[in-house]
Amino acid sequence: MLLYTLITSQLNFPSTNPPSTAFDQVKWDEKFTVYYKLTFGNNCLGSINYSIRGGSGNYTVLIDGQNNTQNLSFGAHTFSVQDVNNPTCVFTFGFDLKFDGIGLNPNCVNSNGYIFANKGGVPNLTYSISPNIGTQNPAGTFSNLPAGTYIITASGSGCSITTTITLYQPNANHCCTTTSNPNAGSNIASMPYIILLPNTQVANLTSANLLSNYGSNGVIQGKKFYIDGILTIDADITLDACELWFTSTSSIALDATHDLNMINNTILQASCDWWGGITASNSANKITMTNSTLKNAKFGLHVLNDALIEINGSTFADCGQHAIYMSQMNLNPYPGFILNTTISSQNNLPSTI
């Protein structure tokens, strides 16, 4: 195994790692990063807990124009943070407070999918599911569910709230095995919140289709995907704090003109055996990785024809032949960079990982 650590003192990038696991969502601009978590409370009200990085550290925070993080009604809200030491530094974004639930996809053996609707732990609520199939026991836990889309309704305290949860059916490649773990693929396919691809919403694996179903303004935040096939980057896309698993026949390919950006602890990894990695083969392509990880790929990044890479604070772990392989490059000097990054590769391709 070859192991290198690339270190530079040219730039001092502030850490964008979340302060703790107490937060499960993130928003950012060039000045601030806001980590936050929304909680479902009693009487159909909710709250927001947050932590802010960036600026001077002295902030004024307003929710809908007021200094209030509790007893928020369900629906859309506006979060604004201002740096008191620099009043022109203001970051505003919207968030949607809604009832939530956890879905576990049917495993590779049977159709026993689960939905856990009582995520907030609020007592004295009743739950219903549509279509009305499967078994509910205890309240808010639905089992024996096949793949499909379900509407869960929570009622109590004079109001009712609904959420929609989709369960996905794994295919044969998703259900891969390893010598040490015959349930390796099945365990990934039934992880909480994971989206199996392709599916009925995304039959063609393209970044444009992913964005239209799971993203906003070119960004997908905090999603988990288990991909079987070649994901084509046909629209600029940013993966923010996402986790992607790939079957052995899967890879990512940038088309002629678009870019792939990975930030905030995005992880790309194999499910059971080596996946194909990422290929950019046009000078108009750019791959950006910031504080992210790529591992278990035959070629981590295969960069051709002066495609641009900008890598900072990231990790390439246990790649097969090459973590980063560049060929047919003509620019001199090359404008890309690799900073503060750890790279390891096997320098060959074992039969299995």
| Category of 201 on φ-ψ map: left (φ > 0), alpha (ψ -120 to 50) or beta | alpha
Q: What strands lie across the sheet with 141-145, from one edge to the other?
A: 102-104, 113-116, 141-145, 135-136
- Give φ, ψ of 52 to 5 degrees: -120, 135
Q: Which 8-state DSSP code applies to residue 173?
A: T
Residue 42 is predicted with a pLDDT of 67
The H or E element containing residue 213 is helix 207-214
Per-residue pLDDT of the chain (353 residues), as tens digits, is 333 232 222 222 334 455 556 788 888 888 899 999 887 766 778 889 999 998 888 999 999 999 999 988 878 899 999 999 988 889 998 887 777 789 999 988 887 999 998 655 556 778 999 999 999 988 889 999 999 999 999 887 677 888 899 999 999 999 999 988 889 999 999 999 999 999 999 999 999 999 999 999 999 999 999 999 999 999 999 999 999 999 999 999 999 999 999 999 999 999 999 999 999 999 999 999 999 999 999 989 999 999 999 999 999 998 888 899 999 998 888 999 999 999 886 665 444 43
Residue 267 is predicted with a pLDDT of 98
Contact in structure between 251 and 279 (CB atoms under 8 Å): yes
Token pair for 327: 């060929």
Residue 254 is predicted with a pLDDT of 98
DSSP 3-state of 186? helix
Contact in structure between 26 and 18 (CB atoms under 8 Å): yes
Q: Can you tell me the distance from the alpha carbon of 144 to that of 142, in angstroms, rounded to the nearest whole number?
A: 7
Residue 12 is predicted with a pLDDT of 28
CA 266 from centroid of its chain's CA atoms: 6
Q: Can you tell me the distance from the alpha carbon of 211 to that of 235, in angstroms, rounded to the nearest whole number?
A: 9
Q: How many residues make up the chain in this entry?
A: 353
Q: Are strands 45-54 and 159-167 parallel, antiparallel or unpaired?
A: unpaired
For the whole model, what pTM was predicted?
Answer: 0.77
**Biggest distance spanned by C-alpha atoms of the chain:** 68
